Amino acid sequence: MARSSEVVPFGATPTAVLDVACRLAESGGSLPAEITEAARAVAGLVGSSPPDQVRSALEKLITAPHADDGLQWLHEAGVLPQVLPELDATVDFSQEAGRRHKDVWEHTKQVVMQSPAQPIVRWAALLHDIGKVATRVMLSDGKVTFHRHAEVGARLFDTLARRLGFARDDRKRIRFLIVNHLRANAYESEWTDAAVRRFDREMGDALADLIELSRADVTSARPGRRQEAARNIEALLQRIAVVRELDARMPPLPPGVGNAIMDAFAIPPSRRVGELRKLCEDAIERGELLERQPVEYYVDFLKRQGIETDTR
């Protein structure tokens, strides 16, 4: 990397260390060894700085144009293990034996740079794989697995978020993205409309952020793999749009199913009717029932579940 001429030496204090990291993330490049060594001398104090100050500086850094340079310098200056030990543990932690580009740390920096410079998405990009360290299993055939690393990473983030004092709404959104960061890229054309609908509903208002994170999470060295992943994401978005449009015109359960349930089971208008409708909707989502069938189809299903006629 070229040496930055815009970052000047600093008074070696914890606050100044974070300021320099942010300025480097803005300008890009690298720093003279003496500045890095001065930072290392006070690195142990940075972690004891006020949490809101640390969080604010890190957020400024990761949303800067050269966030990767700033992050790398934090590691080299010994600051990263003080402020983000969960992330520092991924440095030189391989996802596949003998493949440098599969290093979790290098992958993470690339995901950060490929994601939009929005704080929530960048935090999720920065921390989405921190669960891999605790979940790596080397198989006898040389393959590596990270079973449930998203969930483990989310629990690690809980601790991190409390330590740095994240706002409640931000904490919830970032955690949600970490937990679900694999789901969009797992889409296959064989998904049923019910599966697409369920995914859309479960992602809710976080869908746009999740899609951005999913796009950024593809860092394969093979251009064909990146293009395939991009096409897959677009196919998922198109399916979501199609299902939304179809549901707006004709919901999965046909009109009149509520009346048919009341007639079949002698139930007056009540919450119970809604509960039985929900049983049918849930069965559709699980793939146990087809969508948009005659009302008798759903009444027969409820009868098979042992729903009895109200004889009161």
Listing DSSP states for 148-183 in one string gives: THHHHHHHHHHHHHHHHT--HHHHHHHHHHHHHTTT
CB 59 within 8 A of CB 123: yes
- 144: three-class secondary structure by DSSP: strand
Query: Residue 75: in which H helix or E strand, if any?
Result: helix 67-76
Cα 115 from Cα 268, distance rounded (Å) = 53
| Tens digit of each residue's pLDDT (9 = 90 or more) over 10-26 | 565 778 899 999 999 99
At 144, the pLDDT band (50, 70, 90 cuts) reads confident
Average pLDDT, the chain: 91
Cα 109 from Cα 126, distance rounded (Å) = 7
Q: Cα separations (Å) of 276 from 94, 294, 302?
A: 50, 16, 8
Q: What's residue 287's pLDDT? A: 86
At 6, the pLDDT band (50, 70, 90 cuts) reads very low
Q: What's residue 12's pLDDT? A: 59
Cα 44 from Cα 48, distance rounded (Å) = 8
CB 164 within 8 A of CB 254: no
Domain annotation for the chain: domains and CATH numbers:
1-83 (1.10.110), 257-304 (no CATH)
CB 131 within 8 A of CB 154: yes
- 1-9 long-range contacts (CB < 8 A, ≥24 apart) are 1/28, 1/29, 1/30, 1/69, 2/28, 2/29, 2/30, 3/29, 3/30, 3/31, 3/32, 4/28, 4/29, 4/30, 4/31, 5/29, 7/31, 7/35, 9/34, 9/35, 9/38
CB 121 within 8 A of CB 213: yes
CB 115 within 8 A of CB 101: no
Cα 83 from Cα 160, distance rounded (Å) = 9
Q: What's residue 24's pLDDT? A: 97
Q: What's residue 233's pLDDT? A: 97
| Tens digit of each residue's pLDDT (9 = 90 or more) over 258-312 | 999 999 999 999 999 999 999 999 999 888 999 999 999 999 999 999 887 765 5
HSE-CB of 221 using CA atoms within 13 angstroms:
6
At 245, the pLDDT band (50, 70, 90 cuts) reads very high
pLDDT at 221 over 90: no
**What percentage of the chain has pLDDT greater than the value 70?**
93
Q: What's residue 312's pLDDT? A: 55
Q: What's residue 310's pLDDT? A: 62
Q: Which phi and psi (to 5°) does residue 146 adopt? A: -135, 60
Query: Residue 209: in which H helix or E strand, if any?
Result: helix 207-216
Q: What's residue 98's pLDDT? A: 53
- 114: three-class secondary structure by DSSP: helix
| Tens digit of each residue's pLDDT (9 = 90 or more) over 19-58 | 999 999 999 999 999 999 999 988 999 988 999 999 999 9
What tokens were used for 16? 């100044």
pLDDT at 67 over 80: yes
